[in-house]
């Protein structure tokens, strides 16, 4: 009998919250998809058998908030060296580009890299280019917000654009332009039947007012920041409107970059049962004076803050997959895209800081073992 499967991972501990699986399973792939998942799949049925005894097997990780318009917009990360080596097989660029520079991002990055990329289009025509190059906030000059062109760009790139990004912060807009920005983003999302992702760190608007613009499936990012207008009343107790927004279906994303999250506030939220829906990095490329944590480091932070492993996996697989839409990502169900992150949790002494003056120590962290992309073991391209 000739082998039936292209690849078989044997002996791992599968965690797939989408299917409520958590236990020892074998998983086999054919033609880039998950072909079988069960307690025992014979080795002789596969061309390539990889023993992953006692490692954690989960769907390929999804980073819902990063910046990957590499060399299109300054300080954007190279997706293939940032993501695939740690098990992130899908990533979302959130507003690096607007309708003017998105086509270049698509042609020269998204379509050329191995990492599966999606994007939120920035409401500003040039994305974050003006603030990063000239110091002019994204929509400080509201002539940069062009509704018709944004709608047209989304319509022309519906396969890759998930919605519209707005930044309510001094780098993103002015207090006077905050409401017009949210109103325009709402109209763009309605007209294209896509989502809003809104940056709320240092927002001039109270959370309650921001939530009023959001519909089920829209995303609040940097949702666990610790400065003014955060999701708590006092740095500790969750606001009623945060619970109501979650009830309505608003997605709470971490975007854990620099000052954009507060370790004590994250811990308080988790203790009250308010885990993040999606765990993401807000990762950028090398830039003097900045450090950012990659997705495994951010996952390790949330492990230390008290989230269960299964919930961390949910927040980096099926939950971000729901924001992306029906693409077969974030699950190991038969027929799904054959992406897997093989990880381990290893002991040691680790520390993390949030740039707001708080730090934590951790005795365990996630470490990468193997990445499977489209049903094959991923190896970095040599040379």
Q: Which spans of this chain sit near Zn ion (rule: CB under 5 A)?
A: 282
Which of 89, 50, 4 lies closest to 331 in space, CA to CA? 89
Q: Which is nearer to Zn ion, 6 or 297 (CB)?
A: 297
CB of 375 to Zn ion, least distance (A): 31
CB of 383 to Zn ion, least distance (A): 32
Beta strands in the chain (DSSP E): 5-16, 21-30, 33-38, 46-51, 56-59, 61-66, 88-94, 116-122, 161-167, 195-199, 219-221, 251-252, 340-353, 359-373, 376-377
CB of 194 to Zn ion, least distance (A): 18
Q: Which is nearer to Zn ion, 29 or 120 (CB)?
A: 120
Q: Which is nearer to Zn ion, 55 or 222 (CB)?
A: 222
- CA separation for the pair 365, 304 (Å, rounded): 8
CB of 222 to Zn ion, least distance (A): 8
Q: How far apart are the first and last CA of the chain?
A: 38
Residue nearest to Zn ion (CB): 282
Q: Which is nearer to Zn ion, 282 or 354 (CB)?
A: 282
CB of 27 to Zn ion, least distance (A): 33
* Cβ count within 10 A of residue 270: 18
Which of 124, 126, 129 lies closest to 165 in space, CA to CA? 124
Which of 101, 103, 121 lies closest to 111 in space, CA to CA? 103
Q: Which is nearer to Zn ion, 132 or 337 (CB)?
A: 132
- CA separation for the pair 222, 343 (Å, rounded): 26
CB of 94 to Zn ion, least distance (A): 5
Q: Which is nearer to Zn ion, 80 or 138 (CB)?
A: 138
Distances in Å between the Cα of 293 and the Cα atoms of 195, 255, 261 are: 26, 10, 12
């Amino acid at each position: 009998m000739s082998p039936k499967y292209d690849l078989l991972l044997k002996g791992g501990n599968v965690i797939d919250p989408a299917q409520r699986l958590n236990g020892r399973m074998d998983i086999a792939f054919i033609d880039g998809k998950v072909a079988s998942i069960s307690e025992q799949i014979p080795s002789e049925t596969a061309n390539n058998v990889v023993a992953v005894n006692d490692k954690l097997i989960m769907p390929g990780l999804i980073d819902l908030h990063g910046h990957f318009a590499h060399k299109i917009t300054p300080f954007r990360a190279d997706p293939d060296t940032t993501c695939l080596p740690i098990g992130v097989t899908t990533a979302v660029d959130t507003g690096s580009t607007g309708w003017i520079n998105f086509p270049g991002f698509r042609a020269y990055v998204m379509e050329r890299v191995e990492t599966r990329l999606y994007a939120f289009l920035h409401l500003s025509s040039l994305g974050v280019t003006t603030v990063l190059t000239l110091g002019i906030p994204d929509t400080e000059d509201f002539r940069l917000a062009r509704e018709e062109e944004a709608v047209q760009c989304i319509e022309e790139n519906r396969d890759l654009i998930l919605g519209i990004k707005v930044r309510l912060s001094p780098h993103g807009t002015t207090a006077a332009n905050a409401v017009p920005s949210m109103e325009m983003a709402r109209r763009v999302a309605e007209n294209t039947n896509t989502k809003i992702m809104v940056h709320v760190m240092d927002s001039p608007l109270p959370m309650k007012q921001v939530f009023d613009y959001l519909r089920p499936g829209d995303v609040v990012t940097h949702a666990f920041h610790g400065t003014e207008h955060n999701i708590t009343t006092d740095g500790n107790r969750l606001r009623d409107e945060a619970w109501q927004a979650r009830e309505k279906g608003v997605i709470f994303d971490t975007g854990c970059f620099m000052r954009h999250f507060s370790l004590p506030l994250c811990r308080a939220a988790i203790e009250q049962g308010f885990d993040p829906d999606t765990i993401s990095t807000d990762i950028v490329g090398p830039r003097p004076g900045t450090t950012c944590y990659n997705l495994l480091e951010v996952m390790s932070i949330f492990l230390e803050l008290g989230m269960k492993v299964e919930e961390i996996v949910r927040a980096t697989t099926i939950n971000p997959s729901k924001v992306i839409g029906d693409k077969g990502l974030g699950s190991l169900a038969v027929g799904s895209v054959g992406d897997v992150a093989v990880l381990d949790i290893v002991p040691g002494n680790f520390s993390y800081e949030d740039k707001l003056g708080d730090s934590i120590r951790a005795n365990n962290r996630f470490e990468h073992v193997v990445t499977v992309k489209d049903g094959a073991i991923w190896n970095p391209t040599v040379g």
